[in-house]
Amino acid sequence: MSRPRRVPAGALVVLTAVAAAAVTGQSPAHAAGPEQIVNGTFDNGLTAPWWGTANLTPAVSGGRLCVDVPGGTINPWDAIIGQDGVALTAGETYEFSFFGIATPAKPVRALIQLPVDPWTQYLAQTPVVNVSGDTYTYTFTSPVDLPNAQVAFQIGGSADPWRLCLDDVSLTGGAEEEPWDPETGPRVKVNQVGYLPDGPKNATLVTDATAPVDWTLRDAAGAEKAHGQTAPRGTDGSSGLTVHSIDFGAFHGNGQGFTLVADGETSHPFDIRADLYTTLGTDALKFFYPQRSGIAIDDALRPGYGRPAGHVQVAPNQGDIEVPCQPGVCDYTLNVAGGWYDAGDHGKYVVNGGISVHQLMSEFERAPELHKDGALRIPESGNGVPDLLDEVRWEQEFLLSMQVPAGEALTGMAHHKIHDAAWTGLPLLPHLDPQPRELHAPSTAATLNLAATAAQAARLFAPYDAAFAARNREAARTAWAAAVAHPAIYASAADGTGGGAYNDDNVADEFYWAAAELYLSTGEQVYQDYLEGSPLHTADIWDERGFSWGSTAQLGRLDLATVPNALPDRDRVRRSVLDGAEKYLTIQGGSAFGLTYDPANHRFDWGSNSGVLNNAIVLATAYDLSGDPRFRAGALQGLDYILGRNALGQSYVTGYGEQDSKNQHSRWYAHQLNPDLPNPPPGTLAGGPNSDIQDPIAQRLLTGCAAQFCYVDDIESWSTNELTINWNAPLAWMASFAGSIQSCAVTYQVHGQWPSGFTTQVTVANTGAGAIDGWALRWDLPAGQVVTQGWSANISQKGSSVTAGAYPWNRVIRPGASVTFGFTGRSASAANPAPDRFRLNGTTCG
């Protein structure tokens, strides 16, 4: 969850009171009030009282106001035509219209706003004006009485020169606002990507029917494949809709283009395939490369997304190689180039980067065999290190750079964030950002995020780069000591100019998480003592909202449960994860949309989709720990909601589903504002419904919304439609889990043992419907057991963790078939119990 932190009221990008636009030949009829625009028809051949910026020379040509716009401008506001002194009345609904013709077609930012700083905008729309000419009409309601509003057409930002002509510019009161009628798609709500053949298959029907209705599953040719009846669920609290549930999980076929038909309605098409989530898992990870700061994005690696390096101290950038602190914070500069841009702006935040990089490392740690060198097509591909770890390192290097140097006050602490001194507008590519950059004060929360991620990096990078691992281990210890010495230095809630505050004045959870990671990486008693003394170690930490950057104890608990360690009460820790998963299953059972996310009074938070996914991760982890198929099914239903089984029928992931989000709030994925720029890359998650609707476009369109309807796919809706690194990280984790699920069973037989050793045979059976092409089986041996020799598999051991991989001749396990391998081992005791869990390609086997 990202807390409210985008653009305070009055900043340049703010949009208020905007209704749907119509591009027509004439304005809709209404009882118009008096005309507020002076000389909007230009029939007198004069330009006054219209004005232009110094780089423009407006002139009347053919009864239109025309201007030649120079190329080479950067921002929309670098070239403006405007008129001042326009009167607005609070509560009045206005119609604003104009005729425009552009050669060639270009976006024009049409604004009605306060004429002085902070330039509050009461109407802001950006139509692409074409070469044939159209009339553009909008309605809005003024929230203020203002005698001197400004009408402005911002037309800068083009590399090439072009020409714009305007006519019939009009602003009149007495208009009727067009009601917001979101596109919700078919009433049968499905996962628009699809379902796994042996996984759960659930859908939701919106209907007024009180009795069960028939449903039919049809293939792409229209043939019936399954049928049944719905289960009425009454009124759903989070949507306000009357709904039924559909369960078609008994169907195990494969194919593309299936549809569900119920109550006279046909769903969006979807697939049923075993490889359903493979591409999504890759795309969700590929999202991070174009988010990089401090490096040029190679268009050959991400076609359509190439751009120059941002914030490498090349004009107009003013960072990030020698960044000073805010006045009064410090007297040194730091090189903090690199890392990921946090969201749709150019800020970089340690606490949001911390949870993001942790979840990517945890995805790798869960199933390293799934992550290969070259899989993500990034500049480091081919270096012998899995691409996921290379991407993680780009951010982790930045986090390390934020640590206060030795010899300075607060040595070892981490600066909370670095971003622009003031907010910037949209669109704005990173390399064109002209704002000064500032380091913000260190905080205990940021310092503990560094301690946690550096400790985790130390153990994961050890096989690939011992020096980098050691550097992280030292940084983690230093950060921990600094946090213990300064346990209550908090980020200010008021520090929200130019970037989000990310304030957090309860860091008990960060201490717990950091202690967990340091203990797992070092085994040292000091960290075990802290864990065992923390009230969070035994508390119920499984909040209905899910964990987040401000609530991180769950991260420590999950790793203590899954990463091999000698914690005396580890069995209780593992059971606590199962208890949390049971809690989420209970919540899910009460939701007709399969939600485990259920805040009080159905008030969805900023970034609610990340809450959905993080709760699903708890369920997935419970499945990994127990093999209980209920947890697997519950986790997968979280993806169903994200990918279309929701009240809006919206897939919140760009490029996935029939009705997908594609206008997330971003300064460079800004196609909605500038057709020369791209939409977000495939695999980008939108934040999702937010009951607090803090941004003005959401306030205009969504006031009074039921929770699931508090979303609009508009680039200006920063409170419902933002993209962030800490939302894509759990999407990647869950897609990896779903994409790696195998139906399998393992038999582990000790064939002989002696005082110092034993011999074992292991059989891996494919119990699913599809072939397993390539396999790696992982398990943990009891302390003191070591594999000494193996056969029919490539066996390696690291600590207590053993991995057996396929040879070319036995890499494929066909449905109903099995492979067998064996090994001998050395044992410190006569007891040789069977391992309690086996994971095949990241999936727990029976």
Sequential DSSP letters for 129-189: E-SS-EEEEEEEE-SS-EEEEEEEEE----SS-EEEEEEEEEEESS--PPPP------SEE
Q: What are phi and psi of 438, to 5 degrees?
A: -140, 140
Instruction: Pick the range with the lowest mean pLDDT from 345-359, 419-433, 572-586.
Output: 419-433
DSSP states of 214-228: EEEEE-TTS-EEEEE
Query: Which residues touch 547 (CB under 8 Å, ≥6 apart)?
Result: 553, 554, 555, 614
- The residue among 740 and 242 whose pLDDT is bigger is 242
pLDDT exceeds cutoff 50 at 677: yes
3-state DSSP of 293-338: CCCCECCCCCCCCCECCCCCCCCCCECCCCEEECCCCCCCEECCCC
Annotated active-site residue 298? The verdict is no
Class of residue 147 by CB neighbours under 10 A (exposed 0-12, middle 13-18, buried 19+): exposed
256-279: pLDDT as tens digits:
999 999 999 999 999 999 899 999
598-616: pLDDT as tens digits:
899 999 999 999 999 999 9
Average pLDDT, the chain: 93
Q: Is the peptide bond before 420 cis (omega within 30 degrees of 0)?
A: no
> What does the buried/exposed string (b/e) look like for 810-834 if buried means 16 or more CB atoms within 10 Å of the residue's CB?
eeebeeeeebebbbebebeeeebee
3-state secondary structure of 664: coil
Class of residue 671 by CB neighbours under 10 A (exposed 0-12, middle 13-18, buried 19+): middle
Query: Which residues touch 578 (CB under 8 Å, ≥6 apart)?
Result: 622, 625, 626, 628, 631
Query: Which residues touch 67 (CB under 8 Å, ≥6 apart)?
Result: 52, 56, 57, 58, 59, 81, 155, 163, 164, 165
194-232: pLDDT as tens digits:
999 999 999 999 999 999 999 999 999 999 999 999 999
Q: How far apart are CA 370 and CA 356, in angstroms?
A: 19
Q: How confident is the model at residue 18 (pLDDT cuts 50, 70, 90)?
A: very low
pLDDT of residue 15: 27
pLDDT exceeds cutoff 50 at 16: no
Q: How confident is the model at residue 32 (pLDDT cuts 50, 70, 90)?
A: low
Instruction: Pick the range with the lowest mean pLDDT from 74-83, 281-290, 526-535.
Output: 74-83
Q: Return the structure tokens found at 679.
A: 């939409």
pLDDT of residue 9: 29
Q: Report the share of the chain in percent with pLDDT over 90.
A: 83
153-199: pLDDT as tens digits:
999 988 899 999 999 999 999 998 778 889 999 999 999 999 999 99
Among candidate residues 59, 152, 66, 146, the one with its CA nearest the CA of residue 109:
152
First to last CA, the chain: 35
Q: Which residue has the tokens 């967990």?
A: 516
99-138: pLDDT as tens digits:
999 999 999 999 999 998 778 888 888 899 999 999 999 9
Q: How many CA atoms lie within 13 A of 385 on its CB side?
A: 19
Q: Which residue has the tokens 């290969």?
A: 372
pLDDT of residue 741: 82
Annotated active-site residue 345? The verdict is yes
pLDDT of residue 3: 33
Annotated active-site residue 713? The verdict is yes
Catalytic residue among 395, 665, 714, 716: 665
CA distances from 554 to 450, 539, 549 (A): 17, 10, 11
- The residue among 8 and 577 whose pLDDT is bigger is 577
Catalytic residue among 345, 387, 395, 716: 345
Query: Average pLDDT for residues 441-456, to the nearest whole number?
Result: 98
Predicted TM-score of the model (pTM): 0.89
Annotated active-site residue 579? The verdict is no
pLDDT of residue 26: 39
**Strand duo 414-415 + 442-443: pairing:** antiparallel
Among candidate residues 60, 116, 123, 108, the one with its CA nearest the CA of residue 84:
116
Query: Average pLDDT for residues 438-453, to the nearest whole number?
Result: 98
pLDDT exceeds cutoff 80 at 1: no
Among candidate residues 256, 251, 257, 52, the one with its CA nearest the CA of residue 152:
52
pLDDT exceeds cutoff 70 at 19: no
765-811: pLDDT as tens digits:
998 877 888 899 999 888 778 999 999 999 999 877 899 999 999 99
Number of H helices, E strands in the chain: 13, 41
